[in-house]
């Protein structure tokens, strides 16, 4: 999807922040490039800065997807464990 559509989806799903999925608390909804090489570069930027807006800037013109994350895992364990918003169970009321 394009960046502007992803922004709308991210904004429409702020109600997910604070909920738990697979034992992990959701604390951010971010936009990530779908291309594997770009996604790797995005993840490196994001792990360093924890700033989703700055990290996605170089990839705004690429195909993107919306993910949820837990920043605590990134801070404490140094790894990026995103989950696509499209994989949420129905009871989370995801708005696409």
7 vs 28, 65, 89, CA distance in Å? 13, 10, 21
How many residues are there in the chain?
96
**E strands of 1-96, at which residues?**
20-21, 24-25, 28-33, 64-69, 83-84
pTM more than 0.95: no
pLDDT of amino acid 88: 81
pLDDT score recorded for residue 14: 94
Give me the pLDDT at residue 79, please: 64
* Cα–Cα distance measured from residue 74 to residue 21, given in angstroms and rounded to the nearest whole number: 16
Helix H or strand E encompassing 46 = helix 36-49
pLDDT at 70: 87
């Amino acid at each position: 999807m394009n960046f502007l559509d992803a922004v709308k989806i991210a904004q429409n799903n702020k109600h997910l922040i604070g909920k738990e999925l697979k034992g992990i608390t959701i604390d951010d909804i971010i936009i990530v490039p779908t291309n594997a090489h770009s996604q790797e570069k995005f993840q490196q930027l994001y792990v360093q800065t924890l700033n989703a807006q700055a990290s996605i800037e170089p990839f705004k013109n690429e195909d993107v997807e919306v993910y949820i994350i837990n920043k605590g895992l990134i801070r404490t364990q140094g790894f990026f464990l995103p989950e696509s918003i499209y994989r949420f169970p129905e009871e989370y009321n995801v708005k696409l």
